Amino acid sequence: MKNTFLVLLTALFVAAPLRLHGAETVVYKKIGDRELKLSLVKPADWKATDQRPALVFFHGGGWVGGTPTQFTEQAAYLARRGMVCAQVEYRLLKDIPGPPEICVRDAKSAMRWVRSHAGELGVDPKRIGAGGGSAGGHLAAFVGLVEGQDDPQDDLKVSPKANALVLFNPVFDNGPDGGWGQQRVGNRVKEFSPAHNISSNSPPAIVFLGRNDKLIPVSTVERFQANMKAAGARCDAVFYEQQAHGFFNQEPFKSKTLLEADKFLASLGWLTRPPTLKEPPIPVPASAPTPANKRKLATE
């Protein structure tokens, strides 16, 4: 049953590759013979001398699956809006027991790579955000909130800290009270759970959640938001009625959440001009009465 659940969870976070204008793949880290890569996409008018904001995406899949292409469409849109975006390949746990140590280490390494190469990427090193969904949302929140768990081979003088967070149904609370992943972290909640590391210097965040999410209770996000605000940090939370985990992977919610992310980044001064994405309509369920049906019923 557990394996079936993980297969279904992983399937939510697999996206088909999409060719992007200005896309390139670079190696950000080597582990033995393995090269870990991230995919970069830049605006059409990009120059190396730019000082653009950047957003680094981490895919979901319960730390055991998924692919880096999950946020390809979001990255393409934000690049058109003027940002440099990256999608990160990180090591998966698969049959490895225990907490996601290798995942968070790779996430921090990726952030350090982007910041240390900001000059050649045309990126402002003080405006590098992190985004992700589910377990990828955990990694994004981790690099924004949690100290430690660094890869010893990293240049620790370079900060991996995200300057803003865009979180899609993130499993950022790994504690026993409404959290997810507690079985993996055990008694090391403080070391791995972003929700247990909120402080006054936490970066501004926006969180998207479906109200029918079976993995993350609404109350868990509301508690995270309240604790962020109590610490003096900004946290916007946007909830979607009748939506389950991974809802943001499909339309119209892919566009709806991306539009809200656009507005959030614009409020930070990271984007200018109005969004180019239009608000998509929410499909009316087949069983729901339409205005025409209502008029027909009224005359019968």
Query: Residue 262 maps to which CATH number?
Result: 3.40.50.1820
Q: What is the pLDDT of residue 23?
A: 79
What is the overall mean pLDDT for the chain?
90
Q: What is the pLDDT of residue 20?
A: 47
Residue 183 phi, psi (nearest 5): -65, -35
Q: What is the pLDDT of residue 159?
A: 98
Residue closest to 57 by CA, chosen among 29, 32, 76: 76
Share of the chain above pLDDT 70, in %: 86
Give the pTM.
0.88
Q: Which residues pair with 209 in a beta bridge?
A: 239
Q: How many domains does the chain have?
A: 1
Residue closest to 214 by CA, chosen among 240, 189, 180: 180
Q: What is the pLDDT of residue 287?
A: 56
The CA distances from residue 224 to 23, 30, 83, 154, in Å, are 35, 35, 27, 30
Q: What is the pLDDT of residue 283?
A: 64
Q: Report the C-alpha gap between 272 and 127 in whole angstroms.
A: 14
Residue closest to 181 by CA, chosen among 162, 163, 168, 194: 194
Domain of residue 103: give its range: 2-299
Which two three-digit tokens encode residue 157? 């003088």
Q: Report the C-alpha gap between 112 and 131 in whole angstroms.
A: 15
Which whole number is the average pLDDT over 219-240?
Answer: 98
Give the count of beta carbons closer than 10 Å to the beta carbon of residue 155. 12
Provide the pLDDT confidence category of residue 95 given band limits of 50, 70 and 90: confident
pLDDT at 296 over 50: no
Q: Report the C-alpha gap between 112 and 86 in whole angstroms.
A: 13
The CA distances from residue 58 to 24, 32, 88, 223, in Å, are 17, 22, 6, 23
Q: Report the C-alpha gap between 134 and 180 in whole angstroms.
A: 10
pLDDT at 228 over 60: yes
Which whole number is the average pLDDT over 254-279?
Answer: 96
Residue closest to 245 by CA, chosen among 1, 13, 2, 7: 13
